Protein backbone atom coordinates (compact mmCIF):
# COMPACT_ATOMS: atom_id res chain seq x y z
CA UNK A 1 0.00 0.00 0.00
CA UNK A 2 1.27 3.45 -0.83
CA UNK A 3 1.09 6.37 1.57
CA UNK A 4 1.69 9.85 0.23
CA UNK A 5 3.69 11.92 2.67
CA UNK A 6 1.69 14.81 4.10
CA UNK A 7 2.78 18.37 3.31
CA UNK A 8 1.80 21.41 5.34
CA UNK A 9 0.01 23.83 3.05
CA UNK A 10 -0.45 27.46 4.06
CA UNK A 11 -3.22 29.78 2.85
CA UNK A 12 -5.00 26.89 1.23
CA UNK A 13 -8.22 28.77 0.54
CA UNK A 14 -8.65 31.10 -2.43
CA UNK A 15 -4.92 31.93 -2.68
CA UNK A 16 -2.78 29.96 -5.13
CA UNK A 17 -1.08 26.90 -3.71
CA UNK A 18 2.56 26.04 -4.08
CA UNK A 19 2.53 22.28 -3.77
CA UNK A 20 5.44 19.94 -4.19
CA UNK A 21 4.81 16.36 -5.17
CA UNK A 22 5.81 14.35 -2.12
CA UNK A 23 7.51 11.10 -1.35
CA UNK A 24 5.99 7.67 -1.54
CA UNK A 25 6.80 4.93 0.96
CA UNK A 26 7.11 1.49 -0.55
CA UNK A 27 7.70 -1.33 1.98
CA UNK A 28 9.52 1.02 4.32
CA UNK A 29 11.89 2.48 1.73
CA UNK A 30 11.57 6.05 0.47
CA UNK A 31 11.04 6.36 -3.27
CA UNK A 32 10.59 9.98 -4.32
CA UNK A 33 8.05 11.09 -6.88
CA UNK A 34 10.68 13.23 -8.52
CA UNK A 35 10.27 15.35 -11.63
CA UNK A 36 10.16 13.18 -14.71
CA UNK A 37 12.95 13.63 -17.23
CA UNK A 38 12.17 15.04 -20.65
CA UNK A 39 12.80 11.60 -22.14
CA UNK A 40 10.30 10.02 -19.75
CA UNK A 41 7.69 12.65 -20.60
CA UNK A 42 8.15 12.08 -24.30
CA UNK A 43 8.42 8.31 -23.94
CA UNK A 44 4.64 8.25 -24.00
CA UNK A 45 2.55 5.27 -22.98
CA UNK A 46 1.31 2.98 -25.71
CA UNK A 47 -2.23 3.29 -26.97
CA UNK A 48 -3.12 -0.03 -25.36
CA UNK A 49 -1.73 1.09 -21.99
CA UNK A 50 -3.72 4.31 -22.18
CA UNK A 51 -6.85 2.36 -23.10
CA UNK A 52 -6.43 0.13 -20.07
CA UNK A 53 -6.04 3.17 -17.83
CA UNK A 54 -9.18 4.73 -19.30
CA UNK A 55 -11.19 1.53 -18.86
CA UNK A 56 -10.15 1.39 -15.21
CA UNK A 57 -10.67 5.05 -14.34
CA UNK A 58 -13.64 5.86 -16.60
CA UNK A 59 -15.55 2.65 -17.30
CA UNK A 60 -18.39 3.17 -19.75
CA UNK A 61 -20.72 1.27 -17.44
CA UNK A 62 -19.92 3.73 -14.67
CA UNK A 63 -20.12 3.06 -10.96
CA UNK A 64 -22.98 2.09 -8.68
CA UNK A 65 -22.86 4.25 -5.54
CA UNK A 66 -23.99 2.78 -2.21
CA UNK A 67 -26.64 5.42 -1.55
CA UNK A 68 -30.35 5.35 -2.20
CA UNK A 69 -31.76 8.51 -3.77
CA UNK A 70 -35.33 7.68 -2.79
CA UNK A 71 -37.71 10.62 -3.28
CA UNK A 72 -35.08 13.37 -2.96
CA UNK A 73 -35.85 14.65 -6.47
CA UNK A 74 -39.48 15.19 -5.51
CA UNK A 75 -38.50 16.86 -2.24
CA UNK A 76 -36.00 19.15 -3.96
CA UNK A 77 -38.62 20.26 -6.50
CA UNK A 78 -41.39 20.65 -3.92
CA UNK A 79 -39.11 22.86 -1.81
CA UNK A 80 -38.18 24.91 -4.89
CA UNK A 81 -34.46 24.21 -4.80
CA UNK A 82 -35.05 22.73 -8.24
CA UNK A 83 -37.58 24.21 -10.61
CA UNK A 84 -38.52 21.07 -12.57
CA UNK A 85 -39.54 23.07 -15.64
CA UNK A 86 -36.22 24.92 -15.75
CA UNK A 87 -34.31 21.72 -15.13
CA UNK A 88 -36.01 19.80 -17.94
CA UNK A 89 -35.80 22.79 -20.29
CA UNK A 90 -32.05 22.91 -19.77
CA UNK A 91 -31.67 19.34 -20.94
CA UNK A 92 -34.18 19.71 -23.75
CA UNK A 93 -31.85 22.36 -25.15
CA UNK A 94 -28.95 19.92 -25.05
CA UNK A 95 -30.22 16.36 -25.16
CA UNK A 96 -33.36 15.13 -23.52
CA UNK A 97 -33.24 13.64 -20.05
CA UNK A 98 -32.99 9.88 -20.23
CA UNK A 99 -35.69 7.89 -18.42
CA UNK A 100 -33.41 7.07 -15.47
CA UNK A 101 -32.59 10.75 -14.92
CA UNK A 102 -36.26 11.70 -15.13
CA UNK A 103 -36.97 9.08 -12.51
CA UNK A 104 -34.36 10.65 -10.20
CA UNK A 105 -36.07 14.00 -10.62
CA UNK A 106 -39.68 12.92 -10.22
CA UNK A 107 -39.73 9.35 -8.88
CA UNK A 108 -40.37 8.32 -5.29
CA UNK A 109 -38.68 4.94 -5.01
CA UNK A 110 -35.22 5.39 -6.49
CA UNK A 111 -32.66 2.82 -5.44
CA UNK A 112 -28.87 3.17 -5.50
CA UNK A 113 -27.43 5.99 -7.56
CA UNK A 114 -25.44 5.03 -10.62
CA UNK A 115 -23.02 7.47 -12.21
CA UNK A 116 -21.79 7.00 -15.78
CA UNK A 117 -19.94 9.16 -18.30
CA UNK A 118 -23.32 9.88 -19.88
CA UNK A 119 -25.27 10.99 -16.79
CA UNK A 120 -22.45 12.48 -14.72
CA UNK A 121 -23.53 16.06 -15.40
CA UNK A 122 -27.15 15.36 -14.50
CA UNK A 123 -26.04 13.85 -11.20
CA UNK A 124 -23.72 16.81 -10.68
CA UNK A 125 -26.67 19.19 -10.91
CA UNK A 126 -28.95 17.07 -8.72
CA UNK A 127 -26.30 16.74 -6.03
CA UNK A 128 -25.45 20.44 -6.38
CA UNK A 129 -29.06 21.26 -5.51
CA UNK A 130 -28.93 18.89 -2.56
CA UNK A 131 -25.68 20.30 -1.20
CA UNK A 132 -26.92 23.86 -1.60
CA UNK A 133 -30.33 23.37 -0.03
CA UNK A 134 -29.60 20.91 2.75
CA UNK A 135 -29.20 22.49 6.16
CA UNK A 136 -25.65 21.94 7.42
CA UNK A 137 -23.16 23.62 9.74
CA UNK A 138 -20.50 23.56 7.01
CA UNK A 139 -22.58 26.08 5.06
CA UNK A 140 -23.59 28.10 8.10
CA UNK A 141 -20.30 28.22 10.04
CA UNK A 142 -17.58 27.35 7.54
CA UNK A 143 -15.56 29.24 4.96
CA UNK A 144 -18.58 30.07 2.84
CA UNK A 145 -19.70 32.64 5.42
CA UNK A 146 -16.23 33.94 6.27
CA UNK A 147 -16.38 37.74 6.07
CA UNK A 148 -13.09 37.79 4.15
CA UNK A 149 -14.90 36.44 1.10
CA UNK A 150 -17.81 38.85 1.07
CA UNK A 151 -20.74 36.55 1.83
CA UNK A 152 -22.08 33.17 0.80
CA UNK A 153 -23.96 34.61 -2.16
CA UNK A 154 -20.73 35.63 -3.92
CA UNK A 155 -19.68 32.18 -5.10
CA UNK A 156 -20.27 30.12 -8.22
CA UNK A 157 -21.98 27.44 -6.16
CA UNK A 158 -24.66 29.87 -5.00
CA UNK A 159 -24.96 32.61 -7.60
CA UNK A 160 -24.46 30.05 -10.35
CA UNK A 161 -27.42 27.92 -9.35
CA UNK A 162 -30.12 29.31 -11.66
CA UNK A 163 -32.45 26.32 -11.66
CA UNK A 164 -34.25 27.19 -8.41
CA UNK A 165 -37.59 28.84 -7.83
CA UNK A 166 -36.71 32.33 -6.70
CA UNK A 167 -33.21 33.29 -5.59
CA UNK A 168 -30.79 30.47 -4.88
CA UNK A 169 -29.98 32.02 -1.50
CA UNK A 170 -33.61 31.58 -0.49
CA UNK A 171 -32.71 27.90 -0.24
CA UNK A 172 -29.15 28.07 1.08
CA UNK A 173 -28.91 25.64 4.02
CA UNK A 174 -32.66 25.94 4.59
CA UNK A 175 -34.10 22.44 4.17
CA UNK A 176 -33.82 19.24 6.19
CA UNK A 177 -33.43 16.83 3.30
CA UNK A 178 -30.64 14.85 4.98
CA UNK A 179 -30.50 15.06 8.77
CA UNK A 180 -27.23 13.89 10.30
CA UNK A 181 -26.42 12.67 13.79
CA UNK A 182 -23.52 14.46 15.57
CA UNK A 183 -21.26 11.53 14.67
CA UNK A 184 -22.29 11.64 11.03
CA UNK A 185 -21.80 15.40 10.91
CA UNK A 186 -18.30 15.02 12.35
CA UNK A 187 -17.53 12.46 9.65
CA UNK A 188 -18.71 14.79 6.89
CA UNK A 189 -16.68 17.63 8.40
CA UNK A 190 -13.55 15.48 8.47
CA UNK A 191 -13.84 13.90 5.04
CA UNK A 192 -14.89 17.14 3.34
CA UNK A 193 -11.62 18.77 4.41
CA UNK A 194 -9.61 16.14 2.54
CA UNK A 195 -11.40 16.11 -0.83
CA UNK A 196 -10.21 18.66 -3.40
CA UNK A 197 -11.17 19.47 -6.96
CA UNK A 198 -8.87 20.62 -9.78
CA UNK A 199 -11.02 23.57 -10.82
CA UNK A 200 -9.80 25.50 -7.76
CA UNK A 201 -7.66 25.21 -4.64
CA UNK A 202 -10.38 24.55 -2.12
CA UNK A 203 -11.63 21.45 -0.37
CA UNK A 204 -15.23 20.30 -0.21
CA UNK A 205 -15.44 21.97 3.19
CA UNK A 206 -15.32 25.23 1.21
CA UNK A 207 -17.86 24.38 -1.52
CA UNK A 208 -17.53 27.58 -3.52
CA UNK A 209 -18.21 25.92 -6.89
CA UNK A 210 -20.74 23.44 -8.22
CA UNK A 211 -18.44 20.44 -7.85
CA UNK A 212 -17.70 21.26 -4.23
CA UNK A 213 -21.37 21.77 -3.37
CA UNK A 214 -22.37 18.58 -5.17
CA UNK A 215 -19.67 16.59 -3.39
CA UNK A 216 -20.90 17.99 -0.07
CA UNK A 217 -24.37 16.71 -0.90
CA UNK A 218 -22.97 13.28 -1.76
CA UNK A 219 -20.95 13.12 1.47
CA UNK A 220 -24.06 13.99 3.47
CA UNK A 221 -25.99 11.23 1.73
CA UNK A 222 -23.25 8.67 2.30
CA UNK A 223 -22.79 9.55 5.97
CA UNK A 224 -26.54 9.48 6.61
CA UNK A 225 -26.76 5.97 5.12
CA UNK A 226 -23.93 4.48 7.15
CA UNK A 227 -21.10 4.44 4.61
CA UNK A 228 -17.70 4.10 6.28
CA UNK A 229 -15.05 6.80 6.07
CA UNK A 230 -12.81 4.62 3.88
CA UNK A 231 -15.64 3.91 1.46
CA UNK A 232 -16.67 7.56 1.36
CA UNK A 233 -13.26 8.35 -0.11
CA UNK A 234 -13.50 5.38 -2.50
CA UNK A 235 -16.82 6.48 -3.98
CA UNK A 236 -15.92 10.17 -3.93
CA UNK A 237 -12.91 9.35 -6.12
CA UNK A 238 -15.10 7.47 -8.59
CA UNK A 239 -17.46 10.44 -8.80
CA UNK A 240 -14.69 13.03 -9.06
CA UNK A 241 -13.11 10.97 -11.85
CA UNK A 242 -16.26 11.19 -13.95
CA UNK A 243 -16.70 14.89 -13.19
CA UNK A 244 -13.05 15.59 -14.13
CA UNK A 245 -12.14 12.80 -16.55
CA UNK A 246 -9.05 14.44 -18.04
CA UNK A 247 -7.67 15.17 -14.59
CA UNK A 248 -7.79 11.62 -13.35
CA UNK A 249 -6.67 10.09 -16.63
CA UNK A 250 -3.59 12.27 -16.42
CA UNK A 251 -2.99 11.45 -12.75
CA UNK A 252 -3.27 7.74 -13.55
CA UNK A 253 -0.94 8.20 -16.51
CA UNK A 254 1.58 9.96 -14.29
CA UNK A 255 1.43 7.15 -11.75
CA UNK A 256 1.78 4.53 -14.49
CA UNK A 257 4.89 6.21 -15.86
CA UNK A 258 6.29 6.17 -12.33
CA UNK A 259 5.38 2.45 -12.13
CA UNK A 260 2.81 3.04 -9.40
CA UNK A 261 -0.49 1.19 -9.72
CA UNK A 262 -3.58 3.40 -9.39
CA UNK A 263 -5.21 0.80 -7.15
CA UNK A 264 -2.25 0.85 -4.76
CA UNK A 265 -2.73 4.50 -3.82
CA UNK A 266 -5.37 5.28 -1.22
CA UNK A 267 -8.33 7.27 -2.65
CA UNK A 268 -7.90 9.74 0.19
CA UNK A 269 -4.43 10.58 -1.11
CA UNK A 270 -5.55 10.90 -4.74
CA UNK A 271 -8.35 13.24 -3.64
CA UNK A 272 -6.01 15.34 -1.51
CA UNK A 273 -4.33 18.63 -2.31
CA UNK A 274 -1.17 17.02 -3.75
CA UNK A 275 -3.09 15.56 -6.68
CA UNK A 276 -6.61 16.93 -6.89
CA UNK A 277 -6.30 20.62 -6.09
CA UNK A 278 -5.66 23.03 -8.94
CA UNK A 279 -2.06 23.55 -7.88
CA UNK A 280 -1.37 19.90 -7.16
CA UNK A 281 -2.77 18.89 -10.52
CA UNK A 282 -0.65 21.53 -12.28
CA UNK A 283 2.42 19.87 -10.75
CA UNK A 284 1.31 16.55 -12.24
CA UNK A 285 0.66 18.11 -15.64
CA UNK A 286 4.09 19.72 -15.66
CA UNK A 287 5.63 16.25 -15.61
CA UNK A 288 3.74 14.46 -18.37
CA UNK A 289 2.39 14.87 -21.88
CA UNK A 290 -1.27 15.42 -20.94
CA UNK A 291 -4.21 13.51 -22.38
CA UNK A 292 -7.06 15.89 -23.24
CA UNK A 293 -9.95 14.17 -24.90
CA UNK A 294 -12.70 13.75 -22.35
CA UNK A 295 -13.86 17.27 -21.52
CA UNK A 296 -15.87 17.92 -18.37
CA UNK A 297 -14.96 19.93 -15.33
CA UNK A 298 -16.82 23.19 -16.02
CA UNK A 299 -18.09 25.10 -13.00
CA UNK A 300 -21.44 26.17 -14.45
CA UNK A 301 -24.77 24.53 -15.18
Confidence of residue 293 (pLDDT cuts 50, 70, 90): low
Residues of the chain above pLDDT 90, percent: 75
Confidence of residue 46 (pLDDT cuts 50, 70, 90): confident
pLDDT tens digit sequence for 230-278: 999 999 999 999 999 999 999 999 999 999 999 999 999 999 999 999 9
- What is the residue-wise DSSP string for the chain? -BEEPP---SS-SSSPP-----EEEETTEEEE-PPPPHHHHHSPPPHHHHHHHHHHHS-TT-EEEEEEEETHHHHHHHHTSS-HHHHHHHHHHHSPPPHHHHHHHH-S-EEEEEE-TTTHHHHHHHHHHHHHHB--HHHHHSGGG-GGGT-GGGSHHHHT--SSSS-GGGSTT-B-SS---HHHHHHHHHHHTT-B-TTSS-BTTS--SHHHHHHHHHHHHHHHTT--HHHHHHHHHHHHHHHSHHHHHHHHHHHHHTT--GGGB-HHHHHSHHHHSHHHHHHHHTTS-----S----S--
pLDDT tens digit sequence for 125-173: 999 999 999 999 999 999 999 999 999 999 999 999 999 999 999 999 9
pTM of the entire predicted model: 0.85
User: Which stretch of 6-20, 161-175, 195-209, 213-227 has the lowest confidence by average pLDDT?
Assistant: 6-20
What residue segments make up the domains of the chain, in order of their start? 1-301
pLDDT of residue 297: 61
Averaged confidence pLDDT in the chain: 86
Amino acid sequence: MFNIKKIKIEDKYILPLSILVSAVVISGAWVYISRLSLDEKRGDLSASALKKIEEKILPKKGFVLPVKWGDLGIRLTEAGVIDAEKFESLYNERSRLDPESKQLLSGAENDSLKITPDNSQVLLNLLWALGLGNKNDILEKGEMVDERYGGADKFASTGGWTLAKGNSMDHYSKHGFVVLTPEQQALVESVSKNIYRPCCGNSTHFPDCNHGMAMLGLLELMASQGISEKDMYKYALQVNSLWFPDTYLNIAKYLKIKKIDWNKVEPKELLGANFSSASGYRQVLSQIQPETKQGGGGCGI
